[in-house]
Amino acid sequence: PAAEEPQALKDAAPARKEPLRALIASALKEGELSYWDSVIRSNTNAALVAGFRKYYGLPSDFKVNYSLALATNLITRVDQELSAGRVTMDVAAVASLPWVHEKVKAGNIMRYDSPEYAAYKRVFEKSLGKEGYFAFNGAYVFVPMWSADKLDFKGTSWKDVIGAVANGRMSMGEAGKSQTYTATYLGLRTVLGVDYFKRLAEMKPVFALPSEQIASNLSTGQNLLAFSGMPTRAYQLNQRGGKLKFIMPKEGVVVMPQAMFILASAPHPSAAKLWVDFILSETGQKIMVNNEAMMSGRSGFVSPLPEYAPSIDSLNVIKIDWDKVTTADMEKARAEWASIFT
């Protein structure tokens, strides 16, 4: 009966109901799905899984196997599974657009026209996704960040970071070990120039991974300023009494979208499609933003945390045509970064 239908079927347009009903039935037969991500914490995953099961009327024993990994490790795992011809993951999300685009071109990512893609047209227009293949479950930026009880920083520009603290008291994400820090460097150098980073190197920055550690070191006073602070980590620490602040520099920011895609050889394709649809939906995006303070790419979405996760349209985004950036370009940028900071 219609009254007993799961919310997904109640929300579906008439023409979409029967295909969705069949997709849910197929997912039930599969009984599980596996997804990997480089940001989502365990409590966020628990909220997403509970919402996912409820939305589609799936039983409590429907398994959602989740793995959290650094972006570099996630990429390595996908490449290894593809090379071995034994894909175990269904869905993955990582902020490395050049690599994801290359996987699309190689036929490793499933073509799926999610009904939610209609709300992500601006994402595709900004080269932050590819229609028919992937949008993002959330986006973040790396920006100057500090703890208000340890430092009185009044800067508004990337250039204000130079000399803001004594040598050795600024932390920085290590691009040599991170795809996302490398991508950020690649974008920032187009507006700041290589000489700017040479001046940063003279400040003898402390290199750190992951983003949680960078934020934690600011709260403890181990470092006074972070060049690569992540607002989502500021939100999470401030919820526990932290006093972290950050700026969106006037020269612009490099947006890191967590490109979410389905592997072409996914062992549970029906469940994977439902998962992607749910994460990109209004309901899924609210869970993501409320828990991770990442920016949504969904049109018309009102952020519940505008201070930490503002609308992407409100930011000065440094334009990068990610479809034309290759992994070789990324390696070249990483080598250049290493030559400056090593």
What is d(CA 214, CA 234) in angstroms, rounded to the nearest whole number? 10
Average pLDDT estimate for 266-283: 97
- pTM score: 0.86
| pLDDT: which is higher, 12 or 312 | 12
pLDDT confidence band for 192 (50 / 70 / 90) = very high
Main-chain dihedrals φ then ψ at residue 182, nearest 5 degrees: -65, -45
What is d(CA 286, CA 114) in angstroms, rounded to the nearest whole number? 18
Coil/strand/helix, residue 282? helix
**Tens digit of pLDDT for each residue in 3-46?**
688 999 999 999 999 999 999 999 999 999 999 999 898 999 99
Question: Is it the case that residue 191 has pLDDT exceeding 70?
Answer: yes
What is d(CA 259, CA 278) in angstroms, rounded to the nearest whole number? 15
**Tens digit of pLDDT for each residue in 86-133?**
999 999 999 999 999 999 999 999 999 999 999 999 899 888 999 999
Average pLDDT estimate for 246-253: 96
pLDDT confidence band for 2 (50 / 70 / 90) = low
Coil/strand/helix, residue 57? coil
- Predicted confidence at residue 1, as pLDDT, reads 55
Average pLDDT estimate for 214-219: 94
- Predicted confidence at residue 199, as pLDDT, reads 97
- Predicted confidence at residue 335, as pLDDT, reads 95
- Predicted confidence at residue 338, as pLDDT, reads 95
- Predicted confidence at residue 313, as pLDDT, reads 81
- Predicted confidence at residue 3, as pLDDT, reads 61
Tokens 């040479």 belong to 198
What is the secondary structure of 239-258 as a DSSP string? TTT--EEE---TT-B--EEE
Tokens 């201070």 belong to 307
Average pLDDT, the chain: 94
| pLDDT: which is higher, 177 or 258 | 258
**Helices 269-280, 14-30: crossing angle, 10 deg rounding:** 130
